[in-house]
Chain A
Amino acid sequence: MKVNQILMSGIAVLAAATMAVAAPGGGTVSGKVTYEGTPAKQKPIDMSKEPSCAKAHATPITTEAVVTGEGNTLENVVVYISAGAPDGATAPAQAVTITQRGCQYVPHLVALQVNQELKVVNEDQTSHNIHPLAKANREWNKSQPPGSPAFTEKFDKEEFIPVKCNIHPWMHSTFAVMKTSHYSVTAGNGGFTLPNLPPGKYTITAWHESYGTQTQDVTITGSETKTISFVFKAKPY
């Protein structure tokens, strides 16, 4: 999970760097995503059919449909500006990476911009077949035998795309393809920051793979920091 967080913060820094060029200064929206209720129990994953992957985990990893932190915080939530953001964000030149490691997608959720390069890496001693179940974008699936080089792909429409591996049914990820450059993915502390927002009215959306979306409207004047929070209702089933 640490690698996951480092990658995520790396993406956040990159996104912030791009935005700094596009819109210096401005206001900031930041806050926290939490849940109330009892989230579904995450189950251990049986990888016995793929011994090389089973060996990679000292204790079986669990599903990641709901990942929580201390104080009911919610990880892997994409918080982004769904309306009001200045259009015409160009895709960063830097690719984002998804790695297949120990028969698991690392990170569990990849946020990237429309037309930004996605690099797919297989570090395992087994074949994978990554399959984004895209509806708005073109659907594809690609085999990656062990030791084969990474490949890149792009998505040209905004969409939350569920991703599966055609060989290992338990492997699951999401590609959050964003039209805007103003997005943030929550880490273990549930925190998000959307900096460099010019004055204006914005709709902020928080998306979670199990709990769906929530929106809030925020008005930014000058270089203030607005704090908002999202609370998702968690159910055991």
Chain B
Amino acid sequence: MGKFFAVVLTIIALVSAVPIVMHTWWMPPDISTHGHAIDEQLTDTMAEAGFSFLAAQLLLALFVWKFSERKDSGPIKSLPGGAKGLVIAALILVGTEMLALGVLGQKAWASVYFTPASPNALQVQAQAGQFAFYFRYPGADGKFGALHPDKIDEGNQNYFGLDPANEVEARDDIVSGELAIPANREVLLLIHAKDVGHSFYVPELRIQQDFVPGLDLSVHFTATKVGRYEIVCTQLCGLGHYNMKAYLNVMSQEDFDKWLKQKASEQ
């Protein structure tokens, strides 16, 4: 019976490794300039974790095969190097793995978070609130109007709390329910939470960034492929979380200019 379990264990371990090795449920195609670094990091992580997983499972199967039918209930003394040696070896192995992932991953992380956006990046403010995203472009003057939470009037589409009656900067701000951006131009997304924690996630863009109430965060990226992609909230934010989404619309520069003009006329 013990030998049968050892065989079953081996089969389960090998079969579950197949979809990971074959990339059966992999990420959607990358549409960003930095995404390849993230993908490499993911591949490295999967390879290391997968190797450790298989090694642990096969070792377990070996032990089951070898020791399950022992008659003697005393401690096993014939382990290579003894139990203490195995624990130390495992610690060194796992420690090295974690350290290696960290060192290698620093490069991918730094390309998004440790380098500032270029000065001529397109600035867009993203606001998350229960349960929708809204995006704001500074308009012709290049300046964002100030935010006044007391002026928020959603029935009037004033999701950001702008005060166009008293502030000229706010009058030409363009507010949109979708995030339209030109392809191949860097975008600096200014992250603003209206109420609770949310998260901005576009799998194709390889970007996931939390919104934290009270913190002005930012993230920058360059999209390379024209198309429409889903933006989803990946931070449980309340009753309507399942329904909190928007769309990222990557356009040619020409289409983007047209879109921006059209949106400006609607404000």
Complex interface: stretch among A26-34, A160-168, A185-193, A223-231: A160-168
* Residues in B whose Cβ lies below 8 Å from that of A50: 243
* Residues in A whose Cβ lies below 8 Å from that of B159: 169
Contact with A along B110-132 (1 / 0, CB 8 A): 00000000000000000001111
* In contact, B246 and A49 (Cβ under 8 angstroms): yes
* In contact, A172 and B132 (Cβ under 8 angstroms): no
* In contact, B132 and A169 (Cβ under 8 angstroms): yes
Q: Provide the bound-state CA to CA distance between A18 and B266, in Å.
A: 44
Q: Provide the bound-state CA to CA distance between A235 and B164, in Å.
A: 11
* Residues in B whose Cβ lies below 8 Å from that of A143: 239
Contact with A along B216-252 (1 / 0, CB 8 A): 0000000000000000000000011001111100000
Q: Provide the bound-state CA to CA distance between A68 and B204, in Å.
A: 44
A99 at the interface (CB under 8 A from B): no
Q: Provide the bound-state CA to CA distance between A95 and B18, in Å.
A: 62
A43 at the interface (CB under 8 A from B): yes
Q: Provide the bound-state CA to CA distance between A235 and B156, in Å.
A: 14
B22 at the interface (CB under 8 A from A): no
Chain A residues close to B by CB (< 8 Å): 40-41, 43-50, 63-65, 126-127, 129, 143, 162, 164, 166-172, 209-210, 235, 237
* Residues in B whose Cβ lies below 8 Å from that of A46: 176-178
Contact with A along B154-185 (1 / 0, CB 8 A): 11110100001100000100001110000000
Select one of B132, B157, B171 contacting A63, CB under 8 A.
B157
**Shortest beta-carbon distance from A206 to chain B in Å:** 20
* In contact, B157 and A43 (Cβ under 8 angstroms): yes
Select one of B129, B133, B171, B246 contacting A237, CB under 8 A.
B171
Q: Provide the bound-state CA to CA distance between A46 and B135, in Å.
A: 12
B267 at the interface (CB under 8 A from A): yes
* 10 contacting pairs across A/B (C-beta < 8 A): A47-B177, A48-B247, A49-B246, A164-B155, A167-B131, A169-B130, A169-B132, A169-B154, A209-B155, A210-B156
- A167-B240, A169-B154 are known; give 5 further A-B pairs, CB within 8 A: A65-B156, A127-B240, A143-B239, A166-B239, A235-B165
Select one of A64, A129, A172 contacting B154, CB under 8 A.
A172
Closest to A235 in B: B165
* In contact, B243 and A167 (Cβ under 8 angstroms): yes
Select one of A47, A63, A126, A127 contacting B155, CB under 8 A.
A63
Q: Provide the bound-state CA to CA distance between A237 and B162, in Å.
A: 10
Closest to A169 in B: B154
* In contact, A45 and B157 (Cβ under 8 angstroms): yes
